[in-house]
Amino acid sequence: MKTSFTTFFVLSGLVASSLATPASRIRRQADVVCGSGTPNCCDVDVLGIADLDCAVPSPVPTSVPDFQAICAAKGKIDMCCTIDLLEQGLLCSSPV
């Protein structure tokens, strides 16, 4: 009984870690585009302080030109925002 209980938790941990792996890959790809912050496609930039109607680009951009092309196809501008709040980006800057 003790062995099967331990085996269950070990296997559960392996499954959980394998499900979490893609998120770290996406985060690393986002770091290529934005040194700090989250890549967003936004409608309006207000003095680099706030950006309106922002959304995370899909698919995840792999380079700055790719990020610009993804946002331009949606009619939006590419921005890297430090804080995302209710589809608004705060403290945003251009990609690196």
SS3 of residue 96 by DSSP: coil
- The structure tokens 């705060």 sit at 90
pLDDT at residue number 31:
63
Average pLDDT rounded to a whole number, residues 79-96:
87
The domains located in the chain, with CATH, are: 22-93 (3.20.120.10)
- What residue ranges in the chain does DSSP mark as E strands? 38-42, 44-46, 50-52, 77-85, 88-93
Contact 54, 77 (CB under 8 A): no
Q: What is the DSSP letter of 57?
A: -
Window from 2-16, 36-50, 82-96 with minimum mean pLDDT: 2-16
Torsion-angle region of 53 (φ positive above 0: left; ψ -120 to 50: alpha; else: beta): left
pLDDT tens, 32-55? Answer: 788 878 899 999 888 878 889 999
Is 0.85 surpassed by the pTM of this model?
Answer: no
**pLDDT tens column, 69-81:** 999 999 999 999 9
